[in-house]
Amino acid sequence: MSTSGNAPTYRTLLQILEVLDKEQLDCVPTVYDAAADEYLPIDRFVFASGKNQVLDSEHPYFRINE
């Protein structure tokens, strides 16, 4: 499922996750950095705190390179 030209949302991510099989769901979530041609595992699922100056409080995000 591609969203070429559109920024994906968490709703889109949920739709993609719903079609994965059990084996795929057990994989470590991974992102691809096209600039570095490198795959990086997501270290943690996080929610922004009030201290975050970029994201709204409680905005979900994925952390890499912990």
* 39-64 pLDDT, tens digit each: 999 999 999 998 888 999 999 999 99
Task: Please tell me the distance from the alpha carbon of residue 33 to that of residue 41, in angstroms, as a whole number.
Answer: 11
- Position 34 in a domain: yes
Spatial CB neighbours of 65, under 8 Å, sequence gap ≥ 6: 40, 43
- Token output for 11: 């709703």
Give pLDDT, residue 50.
Answer: 84
Range of the domain at 17: 10-63
In a domain, 4, yes or no: no
For residue 1, being part of any structural domain is answered with no
Torsions phi, psi of 47, nearest 5? Answer: -120, 135
Looking at residue 66, what is its pLDDT? 74
Question: Cα 6 to chain center, whole Å?
Answer: 15
Asked if residue 3 belongs to a domain, the reply is no
- pLDDT, residue 13, reads 93
pTM attached to this predicted model: 0.71
The token duo for 42 is: 């997501």
pLDDT digits 0-9 by tens, 12-32: 999 999 999 999 999 999 999
What's the domain count of the chain?
1
